[in-house]
Amino acid sequence: MTGKAPLTAEEAAQILKISKYTLYELVKRGKLPAQKIGRQLRIDPDSLDRYLRGNPQETRPIGTSSAKDEFPASVLQGLRFIGSHDPILELLIEFLKHSAVPISLSSSFTGSMEGLIALYKRKADIAGVHLWDDKTEEYNLPFIQYILPGEPITVVNLVQRVQGWIVQPGNPLKLQTWEDIAKRGLRFVNRQKGSGTRLRLDSYLRSSGISPAAIEGYEIEESTHFGVACRIANGEADGGIGVQAAAIRMGLDFAPLFHERYDLVCLGETTRSPEWQQILSVLRSPAFHNAVRSQAGYDTSLTGTIMSFA
């Protein structure tokens, strides 16, 4: 998007696949930088690009209130989330902001492994993980037990989802299976080290004897699914692995590869907090389930279910 003229509110909303009202809310809360030119709102394409990649700049536009003005201080203490990216996590954050007792959930999308490590170091209250263990053929629990041995933890399902190839419209390279990662001429875009998606890819490469050096773009990393989709939409890559919602938002095609479970993990002290109980209430609400099901590639049959506790 670099070098393009400023976008109108209508253009930015169309790219994000959201209403103008939602766009104005993002600007109002300082999540998306914008300028007023006369009476018109203009959004810098680079700022929109950063937002799509999961690296927004927090701002306080002139004439708008900050989050501290909108919510009482007791609410703003909130909880800290570190872990893997998913659009449904962003949806959960919005639901919590507008719940009966608003909760601020700060987020950092650094990957599943980093989320568990941050939990161990008490730098996070909640971790978001989707880590597949080849040996046990189980999601998340083996990694949790390894990184947080003996810790009192609760694991609750956020969502089950489909991951697959995010590709250019029409899928010109016919990317359909894991084997296509080695296809000649493919320009790949990867996820960052420590993300569940990256671990799943690297597991396949090891089992298939494929060297990462043979994949053009393997070293190019993005921290979110939208970052992957953004590079493909901009013509910087032909394909990458991610969720269907990111492909749809950017007007791209999608070829499913595997189903997986995305869980939220927290320690005992957090589970006893009223904030955590509010999160469980939102996760189990029909309104949240309906909002999740309105997006392609998600299954809410386990959403809000306690998967493990100790």
pLDDT in tens, 1-27: 445 678 888 888 778 766 665 677 677
- What pLDDT is attached to residue 55? 59
**What number of other Cβ atoms are within 10 A of residue 156's Cβ?**
23
Q: Using CB atoms within 10 Å of the CB of residue 210, give its burial: 0 to 12 exposed, 13 to 18 middle, 19+ buried.
A: middle
Mean pLDDT of the chain: 86
Q: Is the pLDDT of residue 203 over 80?
A: yes
Mean pLDDT of 193-216: 94
Terminal-residue alpha carbon distance, the chain: 47
Eight-state DSSP code of residue 295: S
Q: Using CB atoms within 10 Å of the CB of residue 298, give its burial: 0 to 12 exposed, 13 to 18 middle, 19+ buried.
A: buried
Query: How far, in Å, are 40, 93, 135, 261 from residue 90 at the CA level?
Result: 27, 5, 31, 17
Mean pLDDT of 109-126: 94
Mean pLDDT of 235-258: 96
Range in 11-25, 200-214, 242-256, 267-281 with the lowest mean pLDDT:
11-25
- What pLDDT is attached to residue 220? 96
- What pLDDT is attached to residue 72? 37
**CB hemisphere CA count around 175 (13 angstroms):** 31
Range in 30-39, 42-51, 70-79, 177-186 with the lowest mean pLDDT:
70-79
Mean pLDDT of 104-113: 89
**Which stretch of DSSP H or E encloses residue 43?**
strand 40-43
Q: Is the pLDDT of residue 67 over 50?
A: no
Query: Is-contact 214 182, C-beta < 8 A?
Result: yes
Six-digit token string for 88: 């449904």
Eight-state DSSP code of residue 45: H
Query: Is-contact 175 183, C-beta < 8 A?
Result: yes
Mean pLDDT of 190-194: 93
- What pLDDT is attached to residue 61? 39
Mean pLDDT of 234-251: 95
Q: Is the pLDDT of residue 71 over 50?
A: no
Say which residues have a Cβ less than 8 Å from residue 165's Cβ, sequence separation at least 6: 171, 175, 176, 180, 239, 240, 241, 254, 255, 257
Range in 64-68, 192-196, 213-217, 298-302 with the lowest mean pLDDT:
64-68
- What pLDDT is attached to residue 62? 32
Domains of the chain, first to last? 1-68 (1.10.10)
Q: Say if pTM beats, i.e. exceeds, 0.85.
A: no
